[in-house]
């Protein structure tokens, strides 16, 4: 019998809340975290808005921020969310065998702060010395390693004494969804008893903003930041870059029960598929996304009628929202019109590799509260986007099984099903406790 993977801890650092409780309050209040860009001077950029994490540092989880000053933003987000999750799960008091405790994150490539480097280029005239001095400071070998995408996972493994499988997934915007799905499989197939999993990212930097803007993927509503992200709306014009992290403690059911942990939900389904089409465009019929959602349902042994809510990828780009709507119809058939669908990117922006983890946190919080979050800024229906997008107001829903869907550049697709914990079925496992 396949072992059961349950969630016992949640941590999150987002533009609308930097703890799970604050995050939930922001979701149900329809709080929009988009504003004018402050991380760097974007006054001369075509895009000048982002969903930033404000007024937060690692002192909130008992760490000295000065010790992490050479790390990119995503590392501090991941550590903050990871330590929150570990605390909620009560890992400090648990005797977990190190070799059975792993970490699997989805963190992307961070970019170093090239501001000083760029200024040095402009300042260099007859002498190359200012350029070289700035270059050497920025590319200090003592800090260069911190900019590898796997470093958040390595830091958390060290801090929490996780000596089992440790990995990082980089699959663009499905990275953290895949990381959670693969971590859950490690639990289900007896490769670990406890996994810390999720993701973190920040592409709010000159390279990230310029790159996505050159792809025509970003909203240019600089004068209306709060109304910029408009998923499924007829007047949508692109996404807004966000940032943040969500991290979970996922463990085998009996392992969690024996140590008295509170069970927040169960990862029951995971599906992944490729469009095998183009690098930046999704398949026009939503082929890969529909397949990933079907596989997640099959993996959870569920039928479309049993899904209470879908948290959509819902970027607010014209192509994504139209194709994702079509993919949901293909995967769910006539039930697609019954199931409420919302995009929390309307509040959070697009946190790239971290978006799937943050959106799974949304689903877990909805399981607990029985309330699903709205799609903000939905005002003008699009005939090609004709599902129930929960416009502007949260809604009470009897939440039993929820699905989170994500798609990515490169054609990758992934979906997760999270369910209310049900004691009716038993698990078979040999639990390994530390001596």
Cα–Cα dist 418/69, whole Å: 36
Catalytic residue among 350, 355, 363, 385: 350
How many CB atoms within 10 Å of residue 43?
A: 8
Cα–Cα dist 100/250, whole Å: 12
Catalytic annotation present for 173: yes
Chain centre to alpha carbon of residue 80: 14
Catalytic residue among 107, 173, 355, 385: 173
CB 175 within 8 A of CB 414: no
Which residues lie across from 51 on neighbouring strands? 34
Catalytic residue among 155, 283, 313, 401: 313
Q: Is the dihedral of CA 152, 158, 160, 165 positive or negative?
A: positive
Cα–Cα dist 348/81, whole Å: 16
Cα–Cα nearest to 89, from 200, 233, 255, 280: 255
Q: Residue 175 gets which letter from DSSP? A: H
Q: What is the dihedral of CA 171, 172, 177, 183, to 10 degrees?
A: 30
How many CB atoms within 10 Å of residue 57?
A: 15
Q: Which residue has the tokens 């000295």?
A: 64
CA contacts within 13 A on the Cβ side of 219: 33
Which residues lie across from 385 on neighbouring strands? 382
Q: Is the dihedral of CA 113, 114, 117, 118 positive or negative?
A: negative
Cα–Cα nearest to 267, from 198, 200, 336, 314: 198
CB 104 within 8 A of CB 182: yes
User: Which residues are marked as active site?
Assistant: 173, 313, 350
């Amino acid at each position: 019998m396949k072992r059961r993977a349950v969630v016992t801890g949640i941590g999150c650092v987002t533009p609308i809340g930097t703890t799970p409780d604050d995050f939930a309050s922001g979701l149900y209040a329809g709080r929009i975290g988009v504003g004018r860009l402050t991380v760097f001077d974007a006054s001369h950029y075509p895009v000048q808005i982002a969903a930033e994490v404000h007024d937060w540092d690692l002192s909130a989880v008992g760490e000295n921020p000065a010790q992490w000053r050479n790390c990119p933003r995503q590392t501090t987000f991941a550590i903050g969310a990871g330590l929150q999750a570990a605390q909620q799960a009560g890992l400090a008091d648990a005797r977990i065998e190190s070799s059975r405790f792993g970490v699997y994150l989805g963190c992307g490539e961070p970019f170093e702060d090239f501001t000083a480097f760029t200024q040095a280029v402009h300042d260099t005239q007859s002498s190359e010395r200012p350029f070289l001095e700035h270059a050497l400071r920025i590319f200090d070998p003592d800090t260069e390693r911190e900019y590898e995408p796997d470093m958040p996972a390595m830091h958390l493994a060290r801090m929490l004494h996780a000596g089992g499988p440790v990995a990082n997934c980089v699959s663009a915007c499905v990275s953290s969804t895949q990381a959670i799905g693969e971590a859950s499989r490690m639990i289900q197939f007896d490769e670990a008893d406890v996994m810390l999993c999720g993701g973190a990212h920040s592409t709010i930097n000159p390279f990230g903003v310029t790159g996505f803007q050159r792809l025509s993927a970003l909203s240019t509503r600089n004068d209306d930041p709060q109304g910029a992200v408009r998923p499924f709306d007829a007047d949508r014009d692109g996404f807004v870059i966000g940032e943040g992290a969500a991290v979970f403690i996922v463990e085998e059911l009996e392992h969690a029960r024996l140590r008295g942990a509170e069970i927040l939900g169960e990862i029951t389904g995971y599906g992944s598929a490729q469009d095998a089409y183009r690098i930046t465009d999704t398949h026009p019929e939503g082929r890969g996304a529909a397949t990933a959602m079907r596989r997640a349902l099959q993996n959870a042994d569920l039928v479309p009628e049993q899904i209470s809510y879908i948290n959509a990828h819902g970027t607010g780009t014209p192509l994504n929202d139209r194709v994702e709507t079509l993919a949901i119809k293909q995967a769910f058939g006539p039930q697609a019109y019954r199931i409420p669908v919302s995009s929390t990117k309307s509040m959070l922006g697009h946190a790239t590799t971290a978006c799937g983890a943050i959106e799974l946190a949304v689903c877990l919080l909805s399981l607990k509260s029985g309330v699903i979050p709205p799609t903000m800024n939905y005002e003008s229906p699009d005939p090609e986007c004709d599902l129930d997008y929960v416009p502007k107001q949260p809604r009470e829903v009897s939440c039993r099984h929820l699905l989170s869907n994500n798609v990515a550049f490169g054609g990758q697709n992934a979906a997760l099903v999270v369910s209310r914990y049900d004691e009716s079925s038993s698990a078979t496992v040999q639990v390994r406790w530390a001596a």
